[in-house]
Structure 1
Amino acid sequence: MRASDKAYAALREDIIEWRLGPGTVLAEVEQSERLGISRTPLREALSRLTAEGLTTAAGGRGVVVTDISLADIDELFELRETLEGRAAALAAERGDAAMFEQLRSELLRAPELIGAHDPARHDYYGLVGRLDDAIDAAISNSYLAQAMRSLRVHLVRVRRLAADDAERLTAAAAEHAAIAEAIAAGNAKLAEAATTLHLHRSLSHVKATHSPTKEHHG
């Protein structure tokens, strides 16, 4: 792996997981020493992060980690509803019914994972990731799939803002199962409606549990 790719992956994960919070200045000397690389590949990594919207230039201060406000969350979910609703409908028209039926069965058993500790919850998030990947593959539209992948980077940050409680995750698993069921049935309108309902409930949960302590005021 190239030095710039390694730096990009490390910094991206630190930002998404809130180890580098909003407003954090990513000084070139400090970050190049921390990551054990020279400043040229670090600049390449920072440019990619800025292109994704995870960092931004801040005048003489250099590059800083961007904030996520409640207004940003509203805008992200507006876009998410447009993209994911359409993707679910296309997957219902073009996808492999047997694959989505299998995912539905696994999602219905997801509460067993959610009630457990962190390692099992990672299995649950992995299952949701497989549903996302299956939809991306089924729609046969590389532009739409790429747009959704770019959006999901920010959605992971948003998810970390909300309380990751078992009650909401259990409800979300049922909502994901309903999406998979509608796609397996080839019902585009139902798949889109199930996606819209899931996103509405997710947004309501994020807003209800949003932690102001993680917002950058400055």
Structure 2
Amino acid sequence: MRASDRAYAALLDQIQSGDLAPGTVLAEVEQAARLGVSRTPLREALGRLAADGLVVQQSPRVTVVSDIDVADIRALFEVRRALEETAARLAATRADADVFAALAVEFAGVGALDRDEGRDAYYALIARFDAQLDAAIDNDYLTSALRGIRTHLVRVRRLARDIPERLAASVAEHRLIASAIADRDADLAAHATHVHLHNALTTILASLDAPSALKGTA
């Protein structure tokens, strides 16, 4: 792996996890030393993160992690709703039904959401669901747009990560979406996705009003 790719992957993970919080200054010399790369690959990594919208350059020498505010989150979900409802509808007509039936069974078996290991396992299951959805719709333009949204969504998910009740509801919602796709019910798949995103956004916005907001749903 190239040095710039390593630096990008490390910074992306730290931004998405919240280790590098919104507003954190990413000084070139300090970050290059911390990541064990020279300044040229670090600049390449920062350039990619800027293209992703995860960092902003406040001056020629000052780069900071971008903020997350209510307007950004609402805008993200407007696009997410259009993309994911379309993807669910297409998957219901194109997917391998057995794959999504098996995913529905896995969602039914999710537990221990009050522990870090359980939450991590659930998010890993969502990642596999997303990968199967991308494969099923077989549309490079749509999957590319979805991946861009997911890059930001990982950060936003942290806002409700510590709310077990919301996570439990999210499990049931994903199970219904997977089951609808397996049953070739495009209308139900799209509607269940709409309900899931509505509930996720409502919880995130409520989290922003809490004292612990920006700790880190959906």
* Range class of TM-score, shorter chain: over 0.9
1:113 Cα deviation from its structure 2 partner: 3.6
SS of equivalent to 1:85: helix
Number of equivalences: 213
Equivalent residue letter for 1:196: H
Distance 1:212 1:82 in 2: 31
Higher mean Cα deviation, 158-167 or 79-88? Answer: 158-167
1:163 Cα deviation from its structure 2 partner: 4.7
SS of equivalent to 1:152: helix
Q: Is contact 1:100–1:184 with CA below 8 Å preserved after alignment?
A: yes
TM, length-normalised to structure 2: 0.93
Matched, 1:165 2:163: yes
SS of equivalent to 2:32: helix
Distance 2:119 2:213 in 1: 23
Equivalent residue letter for 1:45: A
Distance 1:173 1:139 in 2: 22
**Could you list the runs of 5+ residues in structure 1 that have no partner in the other structure?**
none
Identity of aligned residues (%): 54
Equivalent residue letter for 1:65: V
Distance 2:94 2:3 in 1: 39
Give me the CA root mean square deviation: 1.4
Counterpart of 1:152? 150
Counterpart of 2:113? 114
SS of equivalent to 1:20: coil
1:100 Cα deviation from its structure 2 partner: 0.4
Counterpart of 2:74? 74
* Counterpart mapping for 1:193-212 below 5 A: 193-210=191-208, 211=210
Q: Is contact 1:27–1:62 with CA below 8 Å preserved after alignment?
A: yes
Counterpart of 1:57? 57
Distance 1:174 1:19 in 2: 29
1:187 Cα deviation from its structure 2 partner: 1.2
Q: 1:214 to 1:171 in 2, by over 3 A?
A: closer
**Could you list the runs of 5+ residues in structure 2 that have no partner in the other structure?**
none
Distance 1:76 1:130 in 2: 21
Distance 1:113 1:150 in 2: 30
Counterpart of 1:10? 10
Distance 1:212 1:70 in 2: 15
Distance 1:104 1:199 in 2: 18
Distance 2:155 2:120 in 1: 16
Deviations 1:16-69 (A, max 9, x none): 111111111111111111111110000100000000000111124521110000
Q: Is contact 1:21–1:214 with CA below 8 Å preserved after alignment?
A: no
Equivalent residue letter for 1:152: R
